[in-house]
Amino acid sequence: MMTKNQLLTLLLITFLSMSCLASERISICIDNRDWYPFSYHQDGQAKGIFIELTKAALKHSKIEADFLVMPMKRCMNVLARQGKIDAVIGLPFDLALNDKLHYPEDAALETSRWRLMQVDFNLVTPKNSSYDFSGKLNTIPQPIRIPKAYLNIIKKVKAANIPVEISQQDESSFYKLIRDNTGSLITSSIMAVRQDETEKFRDKFIVHPYPIASLSYFLAFFDTKATNPELHKKVWMNIEYLRNDYVFMLQLLSEY
Amino acid sequence: MPVCMAQNKPIDEAAIERWATFFSPSAIDREEKIKELRWFAEAAKQYQGLNVRSVAEEIKTHHWESEVLSRAFEEITGIKVEHKIIGEGQIVRKIMDQLMTGRLLFDIYVNDADMIGTHLRLKKTVNLTQYMKNEGDKYTNPDLDLADFLNLEFGQDYDGNQLQLPDQQFANLYWFRYDWFSRKDIKEKFKKQFGYELGVPLNWAAYEDIAKFFTGMKIDGTQVYGHLDYGKKSPSLGWRFTDAWLSIAGVGDIGLPNGSPVDEWGIRVENRIPVGSTVSRGGALNSPAAIYALTKYIDWLKKYAPPEALNWRWVDAGPKAAEGNIAQRIFQYVTWLSDDAFYRPGSVLTDKQGKPKWRVAPTPHGRYWEEGMKVGYQDAGSWTIPKNIKGKRRHMAWLWAQFCVSKTVSLKKFLVGGTPVRKSTINSDHLTKYKDKWGGLIDFYRSDVRSRWTDTGINVPHYPALSAAWWPTIAKAISGELTPKQAMDLMAHAQDEMMAKVRLKVYSPKLAEQKSESYWLSQPGSPKAQRVRPKPKTIAYETLLKQWRNE
């Protein structure tokens, strides 16, 4: 039987441990768009390469995270203002957000050493197409199918006054491209490989080598009490370390 | 960014004639050269005006490909090549990025065949054997003549499929000052001090004696060192070991190309499955032989090499012997011997007739080495196409690769970089006439013994992952932070841990149950129990040459 003093001591230890844990826990939001395999949600849980890489990098600094799936606007404009969110995953560098978010110091470069990942977006045409992408957006065969999750790419193509056919997901873009045997689609290089490994689409399309865009994606921090610049840098360094760890990346990428 | 539209112009016969003249000497005659170059022009006709992107490491051979061969290829075929030259470490990063994330960084890589064990297990590169039989048949040079290649097996999987095609190769040999080793006064002094003849060392005991003998000696006014090496903390410090140093010490088992069941990385492999590197799992990376290999490397570096060598990398140490103060080097990559300083008339390393004062010979063995084991390392930078390069890009890349190893260009390329891939190059009349200029290298490549110099081989399941643990640990042993035993223990356990984690498509490692070290050390073969220093042995260089020539 536990004495009163023992019970009080136990409660005190539990309280102290909880406070300690609480200070090493942060909240991170991810966009609720489905961007497989980088970030997506399944049964309300955040999943994907960005999330797993972030979790592992935080673990190195003994930090745990709650991942909150929500529309990015709500994350940026409501919760972040209220100080309820410490960081956000899966954004490329955006000058307009630079006053709200802490990005790594080299984030404006095309390839940052502190990135979660570098994602290339490539043009895909049907196998019998004789078109070669030269870098000129206005020559791309239309319709240009782009999944709705690729916000930056949609913005880039639209800015050149070129119409875009928004698709739900990569797979539907591929389905329409192969079915109609016309036009093009834009996808990530990793997704192009995945689709080429499926029975349905194998050897049925050409991936053009010059990317439409090549972007570094980040874990970026808000100004909150839970983190500080020193910690940001430490976590980004952990990310770099893990990204260069062949065994870790092999394990991670083989999951998707 | 270039606009890429195929042009389909008539073949430029004048360009073919011009380049056929330029590629002289050649192992084939002018008519054969023109026929071969015309085939390239015809095969590439539908791709005129397009471009291809390749990448290779920073050695003389690849610079020449980038500056000269790419121009020739473009003028003959109309395909523009961007042949980028970067560090070997970066190439490995890029190719792994492309294989794992599908980024289309390059159409083709010159990637060391040391990665064959990775490629065969990942299954993310083009199987060239299948490709040549099927859709690549139209784009495969009828005069490619695979049987003419040296060490084609370096780029093959367990079943003999070609996954990588050699573009350049260089062995790692023993290098020494033949003029000093032949001088009567020096020979007498050595015999008096050590009781045996100064000659090409056959074992590490003799190498060590010779290193000790020359270090600090003044020869013709120059202070001499008995050894040359490098020790800077850098990825190239890892190559110093993974490029077969352990096999030269005798760590692995008998059997070519890499030792079986234990190879030169100390990995035990059973039925194509790596099962462990630690002695307790039947491996040998922390065996007495491996500890001895590291101990000798550190001792000699600190005692007999120039003091600055501790801060040199592979590239720094490469041509250093040409400065004229080094008596011998146990680990000389022959690619560095293409540096002008080794040949230039008037250089300290050439005689009055302009012939080299140095020679190359087989690397002496460590005390754990046994007859039937590999005796040295051979690097084979090999053309490798990622599977996500498809259709015309794959065809263009393959045409470019074959052009760089065609019989038309191979001899000329060898004369520039000293990295042969064809038997016809080595056996050419031109090299018979001028072989003395190469200090024994041509004799080496013409002999049967060259098959005992092999690359990393197919047992290493993931070269980039496993090799990453080597150099930081070796650096700690050099600085004294770890003893050689602690370092090898750490590396062996790290390698096992990594093998336990990696999951590959085929022949993925599966660690064996642990047993006591004494159990494994008492079994025949590797891992081998501790041995004592053997009697030092040397051989006269002339006798060695006769052996190479089967005289």
Is residue B393 less than 8 Å (CB to CB) from chain A? yes
Average pLDDT over residues A199-204: 94
Helices and strands (H and E) in chain A: how many: 8, 12
- Are the C-beta atoms of A90 and A75 separated by less than 8 Å? no
CA distances from B72 to B64, B77, B80, B119, B384 (A): 11, 8, 10, 31, 21
Q: Nearest-CA residue of chain B relative to A120?
A: B103
Residue A21's pLDDT band, with cuts at 50, 70 and 90, is: very low
| Residue A181, min C-alpha distance to chain B (Å) | 17
| Residue A26, min C-alpha distance to chain B (Å) | 29
Report which residue type is found at A57: A
| Residue B44, min C-alpha distance to chain A (Å) | 16
CA distances from A113 to A51, A57, A61, A134, B388 (A): 18, 14, 19, 28, 25
- Are the C-beta atoms of A194 and A187 separated by less than 8 Å? no
Identify any residues that bridge with A69 across adjacent strands, giving them in sequence order. Answer: A30
Q: Nearest-CA residue of chain B relative to A192?
A: B102
Contact A127 B104 (CB under 8 A): no
Contact B101 A135 (CB under 8 A): no
Distance (Å, rounded) from C-alpha B408 to C-alpha B60?
A: 19
Return the closest-CA partner of residue B56 out of B41, B71, B67, B45.
Answer: B67
Report which residue type is found at A152: N
Model confidence pLDDT, tens digit, residues A148-163: 888 889 999 999 999 9
Is residue B498 less than 8 Å (CB to CB) from chain A? yes
Interface of B with A in 43-62 (CB under 8 A): 50, 53
Return the closest-CA partner of residue A211 out of A182, A181, A187.
Answer: A187
Average pLDDT over residues A29-40: 88
CB contacts of B50 in chain A (<8 Å) are 132
Report which residue type is found at B539: I
CA distances from B349 to A74, A194, B59, B181, B432 (A): 74, 56, 21, 14, 22
Average pLDDT over residues B401-427: 97
Neighbour count for residue B112 (Cβ, 10 Å): 24
User: What pLDDT does residue B5 have?
Assistant: 53
- Can you say whether the dihedral through the CA atoms of B12, B18, B19, B20 is positive or negative? positive
Average pLDDT over residues B217-225: 96
| Nearest by CB: A253 against B100, B107, B388 | B100
Contact A250 B502 (CB under 8 A): yes
Residue A144's pLDDT band, with cuts at 50, 70 and 90, is: very high
Distance (Å, rounded) from C-alpha B460 to C-alpha B475?
A: 22
φ, ψ of residue A145 in degrees (nearest 5): -90, 125
CB contacts of B464 in chain A (<8 Å) are 246
Is residue B478 less than 8 Å (CB to CB) from chain A? no
Contact B104 A135 (CB under 8 A): no
Model confidence pLDDT, tens digit, residues B468-498: 889 999 999 999 999 999 999 999 999 999 9
| Residue B53, min C-alpha distance to chain A (Å) | 10
Contact B104 A134 (CB under 8 A): no
pLDDT, averaged across chain B: 95
Contact A134 B503 (CB under 8 A): no
User: What pLDDT does residue A6 have?
Assistant: 53
More confident residue, A90 or A142: A142
User: What pLDDT does residue A98 have?
Assistant: 85
Q: Characterize the bridge pairing of strands A184-188 and A144-147.
A: parallel
Given a cut of 80, whether residue B7 has pLDDT beyond it is no
Given a cut of 70, whether residue A16 has pLDDT beyond it is no
Given a cut of 80, whether residue B452 has pLDDT beyond it is yes
Distance (Å, rounded) from C-alpha B111 to C-alpha B86?
A: 11
Q: Nearest-CA residue of chain B relative to A139?
A: B3
Is residue B4 less than 8 Å (CB to CB) from chain A? yes
Contact A189 B2 (CB under 8 A): no
**SS3 category, B374:** coil
CB contacts of B274 in chain A (<8 Å) are none
Is residue B505 less than 8 Å (CB to CB) from chain A? no
Model confidence pLDDT, tens digit, residues B347-395: 999 998 888 999 999 999 999 999 999 999 998 999 999 999 999 999 9
Going by C-beta distance under 8 Å and a sequence separation of 6 or more, which residues neighbour residue B51?
Answer: B2, B4, B79, B80, B81, B82
Report the percent of chain B where pLDDT is more than 70: 99
Q: Nearest-CA residue of chain B relative to A253?
A: B100
End-to-end CA distance of chain B: 59
For residue A249 the two structure tokens come to 């990346």
Distance (Å, rounded) from C-alpha B363 to C-alpha B333?
A: 11
User: What pLDDT does residue A77 have?
Assistant: 84
Residue A10's pLDDT band, with cuts at 50, 70 and 90, is: very low
Contact A132 B53 (CB under 8 A): no
| Nearest by CB: A246 against B2, B104, B465 | B465
User: What pLDDT does residue A20 have?
Assistant: 39
Distance (Å, rounded) from C-alpha B204 to C-alpha B331?
A: 12
Q: Nearest-CA residue of chain A relative to B387?
A: A193
Contact A120 B103 (CB under 8 A): yes
Return the closest-CA partner of residue B494 out of B472, B469, B462.
Answer: B469
Residue A243's pLDDT band, with cuts at 50, 70 and 90, is: very high
CB contacts of B107 in chain A (<8 Å) are 209
The complex scores an ipTM of 0.84
- Are the C-beta atoms of B297 and B534 separated by less than 8 Å? no
Distance (Å, rounded) from C-alpha A196 to C-alpha B477?
A: 47
Contact A206 B391 (CB under 8 A): yes
| Residue A144, min C-alpha distance to chain B (Å) | 20
| Nearest by CB: A247 against B50, B393, B498 | B498
φ, ψ of residue A52 in degrees (nearest 5): -65, -40
| Nearest by CB: A189 against B1, B2, B102 | B102
CB contacts of B4 in chain A (<8 Å) are 132-134
Question: Could you tell me the pTM of the whole model?
Answer: 0.89
CB contacts of A134 in chain B (<8 Å) are 1-4
Q: Which residues of A touch B (CB under 8 A)?
A: 117-118, 120, 122, 127, 132-136, 188-194, 196, 203, 206-207, 209-211, 244-247, 249-251, 253-254
